[in-house]
Amino acid sequence: MKGKEKVILLKDIEGLGKEGEIVEVSSGFAYNYLVPRGEAMVATEKNLKIYKEKKKIEELKKNIALKKARKTAEKIKKIGVLEIPVKVGPEGKPFGSVSSIHILDALRKQGIEVDKGNILLEESIKELGEFDIPLKLHPEVEVNLKIRIKPKE
């Protein structure tokens, strides 16, 4: 083994370089630390091709996720106001409260699929009325959903 080895960094490593960079390190550091921990791979022609293909696939997945999030945001905007009927007591107060699960179910009935974690509801809603609920569908896509909590007929 020679004293130096060129490696492709698979993550940002402080003091060494950013993900995707090819850096020269000592062979021992490369084979005993970086490669076994999955932080780098030896910079061979084959590994360079593999790395570039992997990056291309990751980029495609990111673009698909972004497009899907934008489409979902458009569907949500078209709804206008999402009505959620709830049982109310004699004083007109709702039994229980409306949580992100209720909002999720109401969206599904409209044919819109989102994850529970996308609904940024700080606390359950315990009264009738209209509310703006922020949804974060993607790091680059946020949309407000207007909901109306109304008595069940």
Residue 2: per-residue pLDDT: 64
Instruction: Parse the chain into domains and list their residue ranges.
Output: 4-64, 65-151
The two three-digit tokens of residue 153, written as one number: 């007929």
Residue 95: per-residue pLDDT: 82
What digits encode the pLDDT tens for the residues 99-134?
999 999 999 999 999 999 999 998 889 899 999 999
Paired sense of beta strands 129-138 and 40-42, if any:
unpaired
Q: What is the pTM of this model?
A: 0.70
Listed as ranges, residues in the chain with pLDDT below 50 are 1
CATH architecture of the region 4-64: 3-Layer(aba) Sandwich (3.40)
Q: What is the CATH number of domain 65-151?
A: 3.10.430.100
Residue 92: per-residue pLDDT: 78
Residue 93: per-residue pLDDT: 83
Amino acid at 38: G
Paired sense of beta strands 40-42 and 4-9, if any:
antiparallel
